[in-house]
């Protein structure tokens, strides 16, 4: 169940960023500075990578998931509080999701094998 929640959360992010790219192309976040645009477009690759690593039960997926969500909420809260343009509900939802990840990460860490099993 925990793994499903993690994957679902990153799937929501993946779909969201793909939808933004479909509707706006590479200029989808044009009202923001270039580094922010690059970061958000980069999530279109990072989120599915997290999903793939988690689905393969790789500990690297846990580490990457935590890094991605912490970077994402840091960027989104900073944008919300300084530039504006990000919805408050999104920052709150992501922060709550990050808390769930942080609380449940030790469970996944124990469940995932230390070294990927060979089949």
Q: List, for residues 24-72, the tens digit of each pLDDT value.
A: 888 888 888 899 999 999 999 999 999 999 999 999 999 999 999 999 9
**What is the CA 10 to chain-centroid distance, rounded?**
5
**pLDDT for the residue numbered 26:** 81
Nearest Cα to Cα of residue 24 among 45, 40, 47, 46: 40
Instruction: Provide the token pair at 24.
Output: 């706006």
Per domain, the residue ranges of the chain are 2-111
Band of pLDDT at residue 117, cut at 50, 70 and 90: low
Q: Is the pLDDT of residue 116 over 90?
A: no
Residue pair 94/73 in contact (Cβ under 8 Å)? The answer is: yes
């Amino acid at each position: 169940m925990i793994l499903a929640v993690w994957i679902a959360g990153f799937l929501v992010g993946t779909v969201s960023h793909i939808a933004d790219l479909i509707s706006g192309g590479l200029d989808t976040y044009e009202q923001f500075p270039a580094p922010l645009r690059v970061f958000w477009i980069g999530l279109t690759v990072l989120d599915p990578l997290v999903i793939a690593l988690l689905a393969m039960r790789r500990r690297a997926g846990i580490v990457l998931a935590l890094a991605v969500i912490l970077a994402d909420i840091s960027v989104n809260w900073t944008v919300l509080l300084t530039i504006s343009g990000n919805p408050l509900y999104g920052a709150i939802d992501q922060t709550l999701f990050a808390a769930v990840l942080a609380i449940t990460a030790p469970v996944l860490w124990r469940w995932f094998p230390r070294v990927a099993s060979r089949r």
